[in-house]
Protein backbone atom coordinates (compact mmCIF):
# COMPACT_ATOMS: atom_id res chain seq x y z
CA UNK A 1 0.00 0.00 0.00
CA UNK A 2 1.31 3.41 -0.94
CA UNK A 3 2.03 5.75 1.95
CA UNK A 4 2.04 9.51 1.52
CA UNK A 5 3.46 12.27 3.70
CA UNK A 6 2.60 15.95 3.65
CA UNK A 7 3.78 19.21 5.16
CA UNK A 8 1.52 22.24 5.57
CA UNK A 9 2.56 25.75 6.54
CA UNK A 10 1.14 29.24 6.13
CA UNK A 11 2.74 32.60 6.98
CA UNK A 12 0.77 33.22 10.16
CA UNK A 13 0.65 29.57 11.17
CA UNK A 14 -2.83 29.93 12.60
CA UNK A 15 -5.55 28.72 10.25
CA UNK A 16 -4.41 27.67 6.76
CA UNK A 17 -1.79 25.32 8.19
CA UNK A 18 -4.33 23.26 10.12
CA UNK A 19 -7.17 23.48 7.61
CA UNK A 20 -4.91 22.16 4.83
CA UNK A 21 -3.71 19.34 7.08
CA UNK A 22 -7.25 18.38 8.01
CA UNK A 23 -8.39 18.50 4.39
CA UNK A 24 -5.53 16.30 3.18
CA UNK A 25 -5.99 13.77 5.99
CA UNK A 26 -9.74 13.57 5.43
CA UNK A 27 -9.37 13.05 1.67
CA UNK A 28 -6.59 10.50 2.09
CA UNK A 29 -8.74 8.61 4.58
CA UNK A 30 -11.64 8.53 2.13
CA UNK A 31 -9.30 7.08 -0.51
CA UNK A 32 -7.89 4.53 1.91
CA UNK A 33 -4.37 5.93 1.66
CA UNK A 34 -2.21 6.11 4.81
CA UNK A 35 -0.94 9.65 5.34
CA UNK A 36 0.87 11.65 7.99
CA UNK A 37 0.91 15.44 7.91
CA UNK A 38 3.56 17.61 9.52
CA UNK A 39 2.10 20.98 10.55
CA UNK A 40 4.43 23.97 10.82
CA UNK A 41 2.26 26.47 12.62
CA UNK A 42 2.54 29.28 15.11
CA UNK A 43 3.26 26.77 17.90
CA UNK A 44 6.19 25.27 15.99
CA UNK A 45 6.47 21.89 14.27
CA UNK A 46 3.74 19.41 15.14
CA UNK A 47 3.73 15.74 14.08
CA UNK A 48 7.24 16.11 12.67
CA UNK A 49 8.18 13.64 9.94
CA UNK A 50 10.96 11.29 10.96
CA UNK A 51 13.84 10.19 8.73
CA UNK A 52 12.43 6.67 8.64
CA UNK A 53 8.97 7.87 7.61
CA UNK A 54 10.46 9.99 4.84
CA UNK A 55 12.55 7.05 3.63
CA UNK A 56 9.48 4.77 3.54
CA UNK A 57 7.13 7.31 1.89
CA UNK A 58 6.17 6.88 -1.75
CA UNK A 59 5.74 10.64 -2.26
CA UNK A 60 5.47 13.85 -0.29
CA UNK A 61 3.04 16.74 -0.66
CA UNK A 62 4.36 20.17 0.33
CA UNK A 63 1.37 22.51 0.69
CA UNK A 64 3.16 25.53 2.06
CA UNK A 65 3.83 29.21 1.54
CA UNK A 66 6.94 29.27 3.75
CA UNK A 67 10.20 27.36 3.97
CA UNK A 68 9.63 23.84 5.33
CA UNK A 69 13.17 22.40 5.13
CA UNK A 70 12.58 20.60 1.83
CA UNK A 71 16.19 19.44 1.80
CA UNK A 72 14.94 16.54 3.92
CA UNK A 73 13.08 15.15 0.91
CA UNK A 74 16.00 14.95 -1.49
CA UNK A 75 15.56 11.99 -3.84
CA UNK A 76 11.84 11.57 -3.05
CA UNK A 77 8.97 12.51 -5.39
CA UNK A 78 7.56 15.84 -4.17
CA UNK A 79 4.37 17.66 -5.18
CA UNK A 80 4.57 21.37 -4.37
CA UNK A 81 1.59 23.70 -4.01
CA UNK A 82 0.44 26.69 -2.02
CA UNK A 83 -1.22 25.99 1.29
CA UNK A 84 -4.57 27.14 -0.10
CA UNK A 85 -4.42 24.29 -2.63
CA UNK A 86 -4.21 21.86 0.24
CA UNK A 87 -7.55 23.19 1.45
CA UNK A 88 -9.34 23.53 -1.87
CA UNK A 89 -7.95 20.67 -3.96
CA UNK A 90 -6.65 17.91 -1.66
CA UNK A 91 -7.82 15.15 -3.98
CA UNK A 92 -5.90 16.58 -6.92
CA UNK A 93 -2.70 16.90 -4.86
CA UNK A 94 -3.00 13.31 -3.66
CA UNK A 95 -3.59 12.03 -7.19
CA UNK A 96 -0.59 14.03 -8.41
CA UNK A 97 1.54 12.54 -5.64
CA UNK A 98 0.47 9.00 -6.53
CA UNK A 99 1.02 9.63 -10.25
CA UNK A 100 4.40 11.25 -9.59
CA UNK A 101 5.50 8.24 -7.57
CA UNK A 102 4.29 5.86 -10.26
CA UNK A 103 6.17 7.79 -12.91
CA UNK A 104 9.37 8.07 -10.83
CA UNK A 105 12.29 7.27 -13.17
CA UNK A 106 14.72 4.54 -12.26
CA UNK A 107 18.39 5.28 -11.74
CA UNK A 108 19.93 6.39 -15.01
CA UNK A 109 16.57 6.97 -16.67
CA UNK A 110 15.85 9.82 -19.01
CA UNK A 111 15.18 13.33 -17.83
CA UNK A 112 11.64 14.22 -16.70
CA UNK A 113 9.08 15.07 -19.35
CA UNK A 114 8.55 18.61 -20.55
CA UNK A 115 5.28 18.72 -18.62
CA UNK A 116 7.02 17.82 -15.36
CA UNK A 117 9.79 20.31 -16.12
CA UNK A 118 7.19 23.02 -16.71
CA UNK A 119 5.57 22.20 -13.37
CA UNK A 120 8.92 22.46 -11.63
CA UNK A 121 9.58 25.83 -13.30
CA UNK A 122 6.14 26.97 -12.15
CA UNK A 123 6.97 26.02 -8.56
CA UNK A 124 10.27 27.89 -8.80
CA UNK A 125 8.45 31.05 -9.83
CA UNK A 126 6.79 30.99 -6.43
CA UNK A 127 10.18 31.12 -4.73
CA UNK A 128 10.29 34.86 -4.04
CA UNK A 129 6.85 34.79 -2.45
CA UNK A 130 7.83 31.78 -0.32
CA UNK A 131 11.00 33.52 0.86
CA UNK A 132 9.10 36.71 1.71
CA UNK A 133 6.42 34.80 3.59
CA UNK A 134 9.06 32.90 5.57
CA UNK A 135 10.38 36.26 6.74
CA UNK A 136 6.91 37.57 7.51
CA UNK A 137 6.00 34.37 9.37
CA UNK A 138 8.98 34.69 11.70
CA UNK A 139 8.48 38.44 12.12
CA UNK A 140 4.79 38.31 13.03
CA UNK A 141 5.14 37.08 16.64
CA UNK A 142 7.37 40.08 17.37
CA UNK A 143 4.93 42.47 15.73
CA UNK A 144 1.90 41.03 17.48
CA UNK A 145 3.55 40.87 20.91
CA UNK A 146 5.14 44.31 20.52
CA UNK A 147 1.97 45.94 19.24
CA UNK A 148 -0.21 44.58 22.02
CA UNK A 149 2.35 45.51 24.70
CA UNK A 150 2.51 49.05 23.29
CA UNK A 151 -1.29 49.14 23.37
CA UNK A 152 -1.21 48.03 27.03
CA UNK A 153 1.19 50.88 27.69
CA UNK A 154 -1.47 53.32 26.52
CA UNK A 155 -3.83 52.18 29.28
CA UNK A 156 -1.90 54.61 31.48
CA UNK A 157 -2.31 57.43 28.97
CA UNK A 158 -0.97 58.23 25.51
CA UNK A 159 2.07 60.10 26.89
CA UNK A 160 2.52 58.15 30.13
CA UNK A 161 5.57 56.27 28.79
CA UNK A 162 7.56 59.52 28.63
CA UNK A 163 7.93 59.50 32.42
CA UNK A 164 10.97 57.34 33.15
CA UNK A 165 10.77 54.62 35.77
CA UNK A 166 7.04 54.01 35.34
CA UNK A 167 5.37 50.77 34.27
CA UNK A 168 4.21 52.54 31.11
CA UNK A 169 7.82 53.36 30.22
CA UNK A 170 8.83 49.74 30.83
CA UNK A 171 6.05 48.47 28.59
CA UNK A 172 7.07 50.88 25.83
CA UNK A 173 10.69 49.72 26.13
CA UNK A 174 9.61 46.11 25.76
CA UNK A 175 7.13 46.66 22.93
CA UNK A 176 8.66 49.53 20.99
CA UNK A 177 12.29 49.52 22.05
CA UNK A 178 12.86 45.77 21.80
CA UNK A 179 10.12 43.87 19.93
CA UNK A 180 9.57 46.45 17.19
CA UNK A 181 13.33 47.10 16.93
CA UNK A 182 13.82 43.43 16.04
CA UNK A 183 10.99 43.38 13.52
CA UNK A 184 12.95 44.39 10.39
CA UNK A 185 16.16 42.47 11.21
CA UNK A 186 14.14 39.26 11.75
CA UNK A 187 12.16 39.85 8.55
CA UNK A 188 15.37 40.30 6.58
CA UNK A 189 17.23 37.50 8.34
CA UNK A 190 14.62 34.85 7.68
CA UNK A 191 14.10 35.88 4.06
CA UNK A 192 17.84 35.24 3.65
CA UNK A 193 17.56 32.03 5.68
CA UNK A 194 14.82 30.76 3.35
CA UNK A 195 17.04 31.40 0.33
CA UNK A 196 20.45 30.23 1.57
CA UNK A 197 19.74 28.27 4.74
CA UNK A 198 21.87 29.04 7.81
CA UNK A 199 24.64 30.85 5.95
CA UNK A 200 22.11 33.53 4.95
CA UNK A 201 21.01 34.35 8.49
CA UNK A 202 23.96 36.51 9.61
CA UNK A 203 24.09 38.83 6.57
CA UNK A 204 20.29 38.97 6.56
CA UNK A 205 20.08 40.07 10.19
CA UNK A 206 22.85 42.64 9.75
CA UNK A 207 21.28 43.98 6.56
CA UNK A 208 17.92 44.28 8.30
CA UNK A 209 19.45 46.11 11.25
CA UNK A 210 21.15 48.54 8.86
CA UNK A 211 17.85 49.06 7.02
CA UNK A 212 16.24 49.93 10.35
CA UNK A 213 19.07 52.25 11.40
CA UNK A 214 19.16 53.99 8.01
CA UNK A 215 15.40 54.61 8.04
CA UNK A 216 14.78 52.34 5.02
CA UNK A 217 11.99 50.60 6.92
CA UNK A 218 10.37 47.35 5.93
CA UNK A 219 11.09 47.90 2.23
CA UNK A 220 14.78 48.12 3.04
CA UNK A 221 14.46 45.00 5.18
CA UNK A 222 12.90 43.06 2.31
CA UNK A 223 15.61 44.20 -0.10
CA UNK A 224 18.42 43.41 2.33
CA UNK A 225 16.95 39.96 2.96
CA UNK A 226 16.94 39.04 -0.71
CA UNK A 227 20.40 40.53 -1.24
CA UNK A 228 21.82 38.63 1.72
CA UNK A 229 20.18 35.36 0.73
CA UNK A 230 21.28 35.33 -2.88
CA UNK A 231 24.79 36.65 -2.13
CA UNK A 232 25.32 34.00 0.55
CA UNK A 233 23.92 31.32 -1.73
CA UNK A 234 26.22 32.40 -4.56
CA UNK A 235 29.26 32.38 -2.28
CA UNK A 236 28.34 28.93 -0.97
CA UNK A 237 28.09 27.59 -4.52
CA UNK A 238 31.11 29.18 -6.14
CA UNK A 239 33.75 29.44 -3.43
CA UNK A 240 35.81 26.27 -3.67
CA UNK A 241 38.30 25.41 -0.95
CA UNK A 242 40.54 22.41 -0.33
CA UNK A 243 38.70 19.65 1.51
CA UNK A 244 40.68 20.33 4.68
CA UNK A 245 39.45 23.94 4.73
CA UNK A 246 35.78 23.31 3.80
CA UNK A 247 34.82 23.43 7.48
CA UNK A 248 35.67 27.12 7.78
CA UNK A 249 33.56 28.14 4.79
CA UNK A 250 30.17 28.26 6.56
CA UNK A 251 31.47 29.79 9.81
CA UNK A 252 34.08 32.25 8.50
CA UNK A 253 34.30 32.79 4.76
CA UNK A 254 30.63 33.08 3.79
CA UNK A 255 29.43 35.06 6.87
CA UNK A 256 32.36 37.47 6.60
CA UNK A 257 32.14 38.28 2.91
CA UNK A 258 28.34 38.14 2.61
CA UNK A 259 27.86 40.42 5.62
CA UNK A 260 30.50 42.83 4.34
CA UNK A 261 29.02 42.97 0.84
CA UNK A 262 25.43 43.37 2.07
CA UNK A 263 26.45 45.98 4.63
CA UNK A 264 28.30 48.10 2.08
CA UNK A 265 25.44 47.82 -0.41
CA UNK A 266 22.92 48.90 2.22
CA UNK A 267 24.99 51.90 3.33
CA UNK A 268 26.21 53.17 -0.04
CA UNK A 269 23.61 51.97 -2.57
CA UNK A 270 20.27 50.84 -1.13
CA UNK A 271 19.71 52.73 2.13
CA UNK A 272 19.36 56.34 0.99
CA UNK A 273 17.00 55.85 -2.01
CA UNK A 274 14.80 53.38 -0.12
CA UNK A 275 14.65 55.76 2.84
CA UNK A 276 13.44 58.41 0.42
CA UNK A 277 10.72 56.08 -0.84
CA UNK A 278 9.63 55.21 2.72
CA UNK A 279 9.61 58.89 3.74
CA UNK A 280 7.52 59.77 0.69
CA UNK A 281 5.12 56.88 1.35
CA UNK A 282 4.75 57.85 5.00
CA UNK A 283 4.15 61.50 4.11
CA UNK A 284 1.58 60.52 1.50
CA UNK A 285 -0.30 58.22 3.87
CA UNK A 286 -0.33 60.71 6.75
CA UNK A 287 -1.46 63.50 4.40
CA UNK A 288 -4.25 61.65 2.63
CA UNK A 289 -7.38 63.68 2.05
CA UNK A 290 -10.74 62.10 2.76
CA UNK A 291 -11.42 60.90 -0.79
CA UNK A 292 -8.00 59.29 -1.26
CA UNK A 293 -8.18 57.69 2.18
CA UNK A 294 -11.50 56.09 1.27
CA UNK A 295 -10.05 54.70 -1.97
CA UNK A 296 -7.05 53.26 -0.10
CA UNK A 297 -9.34 51.67 2.47
CA UNK A 298 -11.53 50.23 -0.26
CA UNK A 299 -8.56 48.66 -2.09
CA UNK A 300 -6.92 47.24 1.06
CA UNK A 301 -10.28 45.89 2.22
CA UNK A 302 -10.96 44.12 -1.06
CA UNK A 303 -7.44 42.64 -1.07
CA UNK A 304 -7.98 41.17 2.39
CA UNK A 305 -11.07 39.33 1.20
CA UNK A 306 -10.10 38.27 -2.30
CA UNK A 307 -8.02 35.20 -1.44
CA UNK A 308 -8.51 35.05 2.36
CA UNK A 309 -4.97 34.39 3.52
CA UNK A 310 -3.42 34.08 0.05
CA UNK A 311 -0.87 36.35 -1.65
CA UNK A 312 -3.08 39.44 -1.98
CA UNK A 313 -4.34 39.14 1.58
CA UNK A 314 -0.79 38.75 2.89
CA UNK A 315 0.47 41.63 0.72
CA UNK A 316 -2.10 43.99 2.26
CA UNK A 317 -1.34 42.73 5.77
CA UNK A 318 2.45 42.92 5.32
CA UNK A 319 2.16 46.45 3.92
CA UNK A 320 0.12 47.57 6.93
CA UNK A 321 2.32 45.82 9.49
CA UNK A 322 5.41 47.38 7.95
CA UNK A 323 3.92 50.84 8.36
CA UNK A 324 3.54 50.38 12.12
CA UNK A 325 7.25 51.04 12.48
CA UNK A 326 6.72 54.38 10.70
CA UNK A 327 3.93 55.36 13.12
CA UNK A 328 1.26 55.00 10.42
CA UNK A 329 -1.64 53.13 12.03
CA UNK A 330 -4.63 53.69 9.71
CA UNK A 331 -3.98 50.83 7.23
CA UNK A 332 -3.60 48.40 10.14
CA UNK A 333 -7.10 49.27 11.29
CA UNK A 334 -8.38 48.67 7.76
CA UNK A 335 -6.87 45.22 7.27
CA UNK A 336 -7.97 43.92 10.67
CA UNK A 337 -11.54 45.08 10.21
CA UNK A 338 -11.69 43.90 6.60
CA UNK A 339 -10.22 40.56 7.61
CA UNK A 340 -12.88 40.06 10.28
CA UNK A 341 -15.77 40.85 7.96
CA UNK A 342 -15.86 37.78 5.62
CA UNK A 343 -16.36 35.04 8.24
CA UNK A 344 -18.70 37.26 10.28
CA UNK A 345 -20.75 38.07 7.16
CA UNK A 346 -21.04 34.42 6.17
CA UNK A 347 -22.11 33.48 9.68
CA UNK A 348 -24.82 36.15 9.51
CA UNK A 349 -25.90 34.84 6.09
CA UNK A 350 -26.41 31.36 7.57
CA UNK A 351 -28.65 32.96 10.20
CA UNK A 352 -30.82 35.16 7.96
CA UNK A 353 -31.01 32.74 4.99
CA UNK A 354 -31.00 29.33 6.65
CA UNK A 355 -32.81 27.66 3.75
CA UNK A 356 -29.85 28.35 1.46
CA UNK A 357 -27.36 26.45 3.63
CA UNK A 358 -27.10 22.85 4.78
CA UNK A 359 -27.07 21.95 8.45
CA UNK A 360 -23.31 21.35 8.19
CA UNK A 361 -22.79 24.79 6.66
CA UNK A 362 -24.82 26.42 9.39
CA UNK A 363 -22.63 24.70 11.97
CA UNK A 364 -19.55 25.85 10.07
CA UNK A 365 -21.03 29.36 10.19
CA UNK A 366 -20.92 29.29 13.99
CA UNK A 367 -17.23 28.37 13.89
CA UNK A 368 -16.64 31.10 11.31
CA UNK A 369 -18.18 33.70 13.60
CA UNK A 370 -15.65 32.94 16.35
CA UNK A 371 -12.81 32.98 13.84
CA UNK A 372 -14.01 36.29 12.47
CA UNK A 373 -14.07 37.86 15.92
CA UNK A 374 -10.47 36.69 16.36
CA UNK A 375 -9.39 38.16 13.00
CA UNK A 376 -8.91 34.81 11.27
CA UNK A 377 -10.19 35.49 7.77
CA UNK A 378 -9.69 31.85 6.83
CA UNK A 379 -12.95 31.01 8.58
CA UNK A 380 -14.66 32.00 5.32
CA UNK A 381 -12.67 29.57 3.15
CA UNK A 382 -15.06 26.56 3.37
CA UNK A 383 -17.88 28.72 2.01
CA UNK A 384 -15.69 30.33 -0.66
CA UNK A 385 -14.37 26.93 -1.79
CA UNK A 386 -17.90 25.54 -2.08
CA UNK A 387 -19.38 28.48 -4.01
CA UNK A 388 -16.61 30.90 -5.08
CA UNK A 389 -18.47 32.86 -7.74
CA UNK A 390 -21.14 33.99 -5.30
CA UNK A 391 -19.24 34.11 -2.02
CA UNK A 392 -15.99 35.83 -3.02
CA UNK A 393 -17.57 38.88 -4.72
CA UNK A 394 -19.88 39.25 -1.72
CA UNK A 395 -17.06 39.14 0.82
CA UNK A 396 -14.93 41.50 -1.26
CA UNK A 397 -17.75 44.05 -1.39
CA UNK A 398 -18.35 43.78 2.35
CA UNK A 399 -14.64 44.11 3.18
CA UNK A 400 -14.24 47.03 0.78
CA UNK A 401 -17.12 48.84 2.48
CA UNK A 402 -15.54 48.18 5.90
CA UNK A 403 -12.14 49.39 4.71
CA UNK A 404 -13.52 52.56 3.13
CA UNK A 405 -15.55 53.43 6.24
CA UNK A 406 -12.59 52.75 8.53
CA UNK A 407 -10.40 55.22 6.62
CA UNK A 408 -13.24 57.73 6.30
CA UNK A 409 -13.74 57.68 10.07
CA UNK A 410 -10.00 58.16 10.64
CA UNK A 411 -9.63 55.03 12.76
CA UNK A 412 -6.12 53.97 13.81
CA UNK A 413 -5.04 50.72 15.44
CA UNK A 414 -1.87 49.95 17.40
CA UNK A 415 -2.30 46.17 17.80
CA UNK A 416 -1.67 44.13 14.64
CA UNK A 417 -3.68 41.04 15.60
CA UNK A 418 -6.27 39.72 18.00
CA UNK A 419 -9.50 40.99 16.49
CA UNK A 420 -12.21 42.05 18.90
CA UNK A 421 -10.19 40.79 21.86
CA UNK A 422 -7.64 43.63 21.65
CA UNK A 423 -10.16 46.36 20.96
CA UNK A 424 -11.07 46.48 24.65
CA UNK A 425 -7.57 47.76 25.50
CA UNK A 426 -7.93 51.50 26.18
CA UNK A 427 -6.36 53.68 23.47
CA UNK A 428 -5.36 50.68 21.33
CA UNK A 429 -7.88 51.88 18.74
CA UNK A 430 -9.19 55.37 18.11
CA UNK A 431 -12.85 56.08 17.33
CA UNK A 432 -13.90 52.69 18.69
CA UNK A 433 -17.64 53.19 18.09
CA UNK A 434 -17.05 54.19 14.47
CA UNK A 435 -14.75 51.22 14.02
CA UNK A 436 -17.40 48.85 15.33
CA UNK A 437 -19.92 50.46 12.97
CA UNK A 438 -17.60 49.87 9.99
CA UNK A 439 -17.23 46.19 10.89
CA UNK A 440 -20.98 45.76 11.36
CA UNK A 441 -21.69 47.53 8.06
CA UNK A 442 -19.32 45.27 6.12
CA UNK A 443 -20.72 42.19 7.85
CA UNK A 444 -24.27 43.13 6.88
CA UNK A 445 -23.29 43.93 3.27
CA UNK A 446 -21.57 40.55 2.96
CA UNK A 447 -24.51 38.67 4.47
CA UNK A 448 -27.11 40.42 2.32
CA UNK A 449 -25.13 39.87 -0.89
CA UNK A 450 -24.55 36.19 -0.15
CA UNK A 451 -28.22 35.73 0.76
CA UNK A 452 -29.36 37.35 -2.49
CA UNK A 453 -26.89 35.58 -4.76
CA UNK A 454 -27.04 32.04 -3.40
CA UNK A 455 -29.71 29.71 -4.68
CA UNK A 456 -31.74 27.47 -2.47
CA UNK A 457 -29.50 24.65 -1.33
CA UNK A 458 -31.36 21.96 -3.22
CA UNK A 459 -30.73 23.90 -6.46
CA UNK A 460 -27.03 24.43 -5.80
CA UNK A 461 -24.43 22.00 -7.09
CA UNK A 462 -21.45 22.49 -4.80
CA UNK A 463 -18.05 22.71 -6.45
CA UNK A 464 -16.27 21.40 -3.36
CA UNK A 465 -17.31 19.64 -0.21
CA UNK A 466 -17.40 22.00 2.74
CA UNK A 467 -14.38 21.59 4.97
CA UNK A 468 -15.20 21.47 8.62
CA UNK A 469 -12.77 23.93 10.25
CA UNK A 470 -13.53 22.78 13.76
CA UNK A 471 -9.94 21.75 14.53
CA UNK A 472 -8.40 25.03 13.45
CA UNK A 473 -5.94 26.36 16.02
CA UNK A 474 -6.21 30.04 16.79
CA UNK A 475 -4.48 32.51 19.06
Catalytic residues: 10
DSSP per-residue letters across 65-80:
SS---GGGGTTS-EEE
Alpha-carbon distance of 124 to 116, in angstroms, equals 12
Number of neighbours of residue 75 by Cβ within 10 angstroms: 8
Residue 194: which residues within 8 A CB-CB, separation 6 or more? Answer: 66, 67, 130, 131, 134, 135, 200, 229
Distance CA 328, CA 248 (A): 44
The residues pairing with 80 across neighbouring beta strands, listed in sequence order, are 62
**Which residues have a Cβ under 8 Å from the Cβ of 92 and sit 6 or more positions away?**
85
| CA 101/CA 181 separation, integer angstroms | 47
Rounded to whole angstroms, the Cα distance separating 448 from 1 reads: 49
Rounded to whole angstroms, what are the CA distances from 282 to 81, 139, 147, 330, 416? 35, 21, 19, 11, 18
Q: Which segments within 245-379 are labelled E, that is strand?
A: none
Query: Taking a C-beta distance cutoff of 8 angstroms, is the pair 207, 262 a contact?
Result: yes
> Is residue 301 within 8 Å of residue 401, measured between CB atoms?
yes
How many DSSP H helices and E strands does the chain contain?
20, 5
Task: Please list, in sequence order, all residues whose beta carbon lies within 8 angstroms of the beta carbon of residue 110, skipping any fewer than 6 positions away.
Answer: none
CB 18 within 8 A of CB 471: yes
Q: How far is CA 67 from CA 126, 187, 190, 253, 254, in A?
A: 12, 13, 9, 25, 21
Q: Which residues of 83-114 are buried (b: 16+ CB within 10 A; e: fewer)?
A: bbbbbbbbbebbebbbebbeeeeeeeeeeeee
Instruction: Give the helix/strand (H/E) hosting 7.
Output: strand 4-9
Amino acid sequence: MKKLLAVTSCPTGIAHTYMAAESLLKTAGEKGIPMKVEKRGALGVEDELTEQEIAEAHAIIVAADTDVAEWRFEGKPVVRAGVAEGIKNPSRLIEQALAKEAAKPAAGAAEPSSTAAAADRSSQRKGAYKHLMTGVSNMLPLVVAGGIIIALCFIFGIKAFEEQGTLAAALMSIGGGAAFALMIPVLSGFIAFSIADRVGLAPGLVGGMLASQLGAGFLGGIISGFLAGYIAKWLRTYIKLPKALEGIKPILIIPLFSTLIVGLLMIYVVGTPVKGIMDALTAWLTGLNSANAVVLGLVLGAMMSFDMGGPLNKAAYTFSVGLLGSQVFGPMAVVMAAGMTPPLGLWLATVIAKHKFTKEEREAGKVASVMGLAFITEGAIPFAAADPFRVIPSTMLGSAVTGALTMMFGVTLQAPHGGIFVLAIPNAVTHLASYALAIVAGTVVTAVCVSLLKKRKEETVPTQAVIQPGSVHSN
